[in-house]
């Protein structure tokens, strides 16, 4: 087996308790690398279409990449995978910290689960020895309590990924938590884990990940660490993603007032209160994922006035800052920190939770829901007490929170009364905090990736947004911000490169501060394969197509993943830097699908494209 792989995966049937090791297939690894690439191929092959995402037949997995846990500069990530209960299609979510590397140190590249346990259980892997254990005493505990309890039982070196009470209660916006606040948050996979009565996976091990050329990896690590020096990398080291929050709110990158408000300090003038230096002043210490020289994370000091923040809670990322800041017109840092901590300990996606609160506030403003409907809460914009109380209710699936706990699409279906026009989602997934009216290619990514509304899936959005912020990403061509044609090739290549980066187990932020050839060069040194940038693009395209094939087989069509009119600027905003902007994302998405050779009506990859990528079996399945 090539370097970077432990060479085996574990399959667990929770209905029977049976566990079985299976060797990795090296050709499949070369074709799909790892992470959600390898997982999508395995699950596509082994799972029939149409299964209930919360039922026993949905295969749910933890997967790493070949760079995870190696000396590769940004190799700290793992992913959870499975059919999404939010979209009905392919689901994956990504997290850093230390769990992913330690899953490999415990002997496995991946663990997959099927079935449903009769009682709560957790999986413990101790240096290659897996054991299912009773988790009845952990059921009901939050993510921090669960991790503390398992470390007390298994030892301080154990690493844990778990669900909180939100996942147990099958909140469709639930994620999987590791390191007390790093969350694989999107796609609703915490609910899938909860449906299987799987409380946690704990790993302990000291196995070494094999590396083909350690000297080359060390050399590349030094080279790319030095190459990191510069404006954007320095900002990430000093601030993390909060370093751009105030600027993003001012320039129109951050959505304001449920995407209906004006930027440019009009509707949200005090973004600096929850950003940059104000945030860092509350930071107790920096936090870095496994062997990361950037360390963009942080742990916060105890404190707060009306709202008390526990010591050691994780510093909010940009997405959370916008979701519980500009989206709900909250400029109080204590409120933001506490809302973030609630999401972390209960295990819910902060993008979805903040969007749900904003949706409820706009419904309240328009008389669709009343104070009585909202359990006595006055859901006025920026109401601190209401933001915290409603976030807790969502996390606990209590009262009006239960209406919102499955996301805004489901909530609008329950509420009715025209509320759907305030539900900002694509295909059931709430939209991230980067506005396509500023960077139109984000709209293309949100509509065309197999996991919709996902800003982390590559494309040219950051290439449009960063120059607007006065920043540059190395290697990007100078394409016009509001051009609606001629971007497909660059967008597609960037998306494909991003798929390979993610499947390899690398951090998206790290990819922003290292040269574009870092991932293929590290893959070549770690695996021992010849692997170039062109190879990376082909592998990424193959991954894009297997994820899309999964969705096609589930009956999902391009029309199912469309941006709401508001987010396309229909009607356009009347004030601020985005005043008068209406974007033609339809043409951008159309040209991308044509470049990728995906049918505009069905979404199917063409038979010729699949065959050219060596995906003959998938071609026969989709084109019998």
Per-residue pLDDT reduced to its tens digit, 417-429: 999 999 999 999 9
The answer to whether the beta carbons of residues 297 and 286 sit under 8 Å apart is yes
DSSP class per residue in 204-238: E--PPPP-S-HHHHHHHHHHHHHHT-SHHHHHHHH
pLDDT of residue 470: 67
Residue 469: pLDDT band by 50, 70, 90 thresholds?
low
Question: What's the mean per-residue pLDDT of the chain?
Answer: 96
Whether the pLDDT of residue 33 is over 80: the answer is: yes
The predicted-structure confidence for 347-367, as pLDDT tens digits, reads as follows 999 999 999 999 999 999 999
pLDDT of residue 512: 79
pTM of the model: 0.97
pLDDT of residue 487: 96
Largest CA distance in the chain: 66
pLDDT of residue 129: 98
Percent of the chain with pLDDT over 90: 92
- Extended beta strands in 135-178, E state: 159-162, 176-178
Dist CA 619 CA 613 (whole Å): 10
Compute the average pLDDT of residues 522-528.
98
pLDDT of residue 474: 61
Whether the pLDDT of residue 154 is over 90: the answer is: yes
pLDDT of residue 142: 98
pLDDT of residue 318: 97
Dist CA 84 CA 231 (whole Å): 38
Question: For the packed helices 533-553 and 585-596, what is the interaxial angle rounded to 10 degrees?
Answer: 110
pLDDT of residue 478: 74
Handedness of CA 389, 320, 394, 112 (dihedral sign): negative
Task: Tell me which of 274-278, 462-466, 586-590 is least confident.
Answer: 462-466
Dist CA 227 CA 237 (whole Å): 14
pLDDT of residue 116: 98
Whether the pLDDT of residue 393 is over 90: the answer is: yes
pLDDT of residue 103: 98
The predicted-structure confidence for 89-120, as pLDDT tens digits, reads as follows 999 999 999 999 999 999 999 999 999 999 99
Whether the pLDDT of residue 231 is over 90: the answer is: no
DSSP class per residue in 285-335: EEE--TT-SS--EEEEPSB-SSS-B-TTPBPPPHHHHHHTTTTTT---HHH
The predicted-structure confidence for 416-462, as pLDDT tens digits, reads as follows 999 999 999 999 999 999 999 999 999 999 999 999 999 999 999 98
Residue 232: pLDDT band by 50, 70, 90 thresholds?
confident
Dist CA 148 CA 168 (whole Å): 18
Residue 545: pLDDT band by 50, 70, 90 thresholds?
very high
Percent of the chain with pLDDT over 70: 99
Whether the pLDDT of residue 539 is over 70: the answer is: yes
- Of 448, 458, 462, the closest CA to residue 587 belongs to 448
More confident residue, 468 or 414: 414
The answer to whether the beta carbons of residues 184 and 79 sit under 8 Å apart is yes
Whether the pLDDT of residue 468 is over 90: the answer is: no
pLDDT of residue 472: 63
Compute the average pLDDT of residues 110-131.
98
- Of 339, 446, 416, 438, the closest CA to residue 383 belongs to 339
pLDDT of residue 285: 96
Whether the pLDDT of residue 520 is over 90: the answer is: yes
DSSP class per residue in 518-536: HHHHHHHHHH-S---HHHH
C-alpha separations of 228 from 73, 223, 236, 491, 548 in Å: 11, 9, 10, 24, 34
Whether the pLDDT of residue 29 is over 80: the answer is: yes
pLDDT of residue 51: 98
pLDDT of residue 511: 79
């Amino acid at each position: 087996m090539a370097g970077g792989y432990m060479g085996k995966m574990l399959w667990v049937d929770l209905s029977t308790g049976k566990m079985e090791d299976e060797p990795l297939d090296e050709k499949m690894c070369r074709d799909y690398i790892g992470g959600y690439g390898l997982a999508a191929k395995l699950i596509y092959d082994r799972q029939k279409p149409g299964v209930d995402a919360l039922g026993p037949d949905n295969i749910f997995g933890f997967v790493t990449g070949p760079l995870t846990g190696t000396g590769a500069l940004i190799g700290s990530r793992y992913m959870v995978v499975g059919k999404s209960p939010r979209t009905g299609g392919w689901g994956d979510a990504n997290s850093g910290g230390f769990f992913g590397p330690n899953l490999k140190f415990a002997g496995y590249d991946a663990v997959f689960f099927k079935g449903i346990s009769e009682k709560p259980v957790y999986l413990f892997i101790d240096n290659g020895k897996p054991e299912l254990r009773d988790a009845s005493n952990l059921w009901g505990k939050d993510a921090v309590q669960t991790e503390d309890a398992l470390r007390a039982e298994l030892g301080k070196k154990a690493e844990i990924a778990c669900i909180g009470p939100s996942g147990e209660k099958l909140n469709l916006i639930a994620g999987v938590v590791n390191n007390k606040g790093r969350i694989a948050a999107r796609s609703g996979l915490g609910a899938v884990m909860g449906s299987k009565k799987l409380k946690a996976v704990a790993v302990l091990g000291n196995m070494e990940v094999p590396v083909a050329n350690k000297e080359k990896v060390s050399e590349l690590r030094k080279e790319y660490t030095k190459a990191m020096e510069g404006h954007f990398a320095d900002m990430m080291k000093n601030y993390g993603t909060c370093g751009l929050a105030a600027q993003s709110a001012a320039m129109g990158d951050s959505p304001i007032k449920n995407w209906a408000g004006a930027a440019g300090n009009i509707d949200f003038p005090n973004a600096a209160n929850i950003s940059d230096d104000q945030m860092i002043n509350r930071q107790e210490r920096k936090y870095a994922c496994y062997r990361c020289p950037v360390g963009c994370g942080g742990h916060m000091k105890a404190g707060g006035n009306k709202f008390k923040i526990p010591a050691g809670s994780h510093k909010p990322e940009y997405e959370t800052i916008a979701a519980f800041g500009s989206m709900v017109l909250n400029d109080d840092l204590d409120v933001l920190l506490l809302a973030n901590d609630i999401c972390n300990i209960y295990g819910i996606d902060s993008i979805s939770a903040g969007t749900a609160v904003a949706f409820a506030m706009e419904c309240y403003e328009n008389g669709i829901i009343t104070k009585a409907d909202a359990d006595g809460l006055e859901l006025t914009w920026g109401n601190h007490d209401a933001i915290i109380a409603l976030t807790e209710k969502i996390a606990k699936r209590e009262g009006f929170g239960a209406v919102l706990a499955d996301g805004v699409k489901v909530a609008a279906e329950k509420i009715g009364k025209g509320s759907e026009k305030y539900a900002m989602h694509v295909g059931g997934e709430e939209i991230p905090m980067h506005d396509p009216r500023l960077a139109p290619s984000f709209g293309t990514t949100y509509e065309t990736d197999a996991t919709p509304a996902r800003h982390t899936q590559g494309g040219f959005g950051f290439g449009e947004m960063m120059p607007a912020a006065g920043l540059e990403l190395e290697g990007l061509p100078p394409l016009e911000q509001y051009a609606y044609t001629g971007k497909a090739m660059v967008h597609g290549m960037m998306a494909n490169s991003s798929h390979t980066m993610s499947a390899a187990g690398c951090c998206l932020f790290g990819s922003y501060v290292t040269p574009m050839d870092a991932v293929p060069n590290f893959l070549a040194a770690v695996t021992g394969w010849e692997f170039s940038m062109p190879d990376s693009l082909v592998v990424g395209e193959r991954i894009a197509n297997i994820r899309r094939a999964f969705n096609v087989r589930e009956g999902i069509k391009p029309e199912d993943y469309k941006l709401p009119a508001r987010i396309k600027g229909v009607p356009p905003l009347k004030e601020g830097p985005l005043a008068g902007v209406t974007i033609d994302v339809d043409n951008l998405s159309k040209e991308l699908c044509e470049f990728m050779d995906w049918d505009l009506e069905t979404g199917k990859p063409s038979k010729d494209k699949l065959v050219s990528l060596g995906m003959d079996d998938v071609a026969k399945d989709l084109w019998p």
